Amino acid sequence: MFDKNTAGEVAGHKLAAEKHAPDKLFLASSNCGKLREYRSLAETFSSPRRIALELLPEIDRLPAFAENAPTFAENAAGKALHYSRFAEGLVFADDSGLVVPALGKAPGVHSARYAGENASDADRVRKLLEELREKKGAARQGYFVCVIALARRGKILGVISDRAGGTILDAPRGEYGFGYDPVFFFPMLGKTFAEQSLSEKNQHSHRGKAFRKLCDFLSSLSPETRVI
């Protein structure tokens, strides 16, 4: 039993502890490339509050969410809503992809399945280069989009997006990254995303910029919403 003062002190310590505790975020994704980038982002860019980022436990054993909406935002929000029902706390999901206006915005929301269900990153890059074979100059411009949705127990708290623009090369360059990175040339640095270290890519990428917005959004939420 606590007397009134002790109870007050305990409550005070608890509040102080919560103030300094990291925001715990569960990522709903089974894409290893994304997870690597978000982990590094959470370590680097989480000011003013620290973020403890974890993969949603057992995500591969939960009922899957079918990402077949026509927009990145609908897919991200649907995924975050769906998976937040299986967790206590804040869950975020993203939908991202490469948009090439000269290809009618393809691969777009179909970026992950552009060359079929079981195709590899190399297959998708090959298909993209084949589709762009006759295109020159401005027709090879494209941009990556990342939409992040944050949810908690079946309610959307926010939807955030950003993009990164560049041009599509006619042959892959670089060893880092994943997906379309080896053919995505980022003019500001004069390198493809696959020629950039993780921290370099994170500073300029669609995902890095959207995640920093998510951090700002999180710090604007009330402590009751942030704490599990």
Q: Give the range of 11-19, 93-101, 153-161, 167-175 binding ligand IMP by CB under 6 A.
A: 93-101
Residues 181-200 that bind ligand IMP (CB under 6 A): 181, 193
Shortest separation between residue 180's beta carbon and ligand IMP, angstroms: 4
State the Cα–Cα distance between residues 177 and 96, nearest whole angstrom.
Answer: 14
Residues 8-67 that bind ligand IMP (CB under 6 A): 31, 67
Is residue 142 a contact point for ligand IMP (CB under 6 A)?
A: no
Shortest separation between residue 76's beta carbon and ligand IMP, angstroms: 8
Residue 37's CB is within 10 A of a number of other CB atoms, namely 21
Is residue 119 within 8 A of residue 183, CB to CB? The reply is no
Can 170 be counted among the known catalytic residues?
no
State the Cα–Cα distance between residues 207 and 114, nearest whole angstrom.
Answer: 20
Shortest separation between residue 58's beta carbon and ligand IMP, angstroms: 18
CB-based contacts of 171: which residues, under 8 Å, 6+ apart?
A: 129, 183
| Burial class of residue 87 in the structure, from the number of CB atoms within 10 Å of its CB (0-12 exposed, 13-18 middle, 19+ buried) | buried
Shortest separation between residue 81's beta carbon and ligand IMP, angstroms: 16
Question: 132: closest CA among 169, 164, 163?
Answer: 169
- Kindly tell me which of 76 and 226 has the beta carbon lying closer to ligand IMP: 76
The binder of ligand IMP chosen from 40, 46, 84, 111 (CB under 6 A): 111
C-alpha distances in Å from residue 19, one per residue of 45, 49, 228: 18, 9, 13
The binder of ligand IMP chosen from 78, 172, 177, 208 (CB under 6 A): 177
The binder of ligand IMP chosen from 59, 112, 119, 156 (CB under 6 A): 112
- Kindly tell me which of 97 and 172 has the beta carbon lying closer to ligand IMP: 97
Angle between helix 206-220 and 32-44 (nearest 10): 50
Is residue 45 within 8 A of residue 213, CB to CB? The reply is no
- Kindly tell me which of 45 and 178 has the beta carbon lying closer to ligand IMP: 178
**Catalytic-role residue among 95, 123, 162, 216:** 95
Active site residues: 95
Residues that bind ligand IMP (CB under 6 A): 31, 67, 95-98, 111-112, 124, 144, 177-181, 193, 205, 207
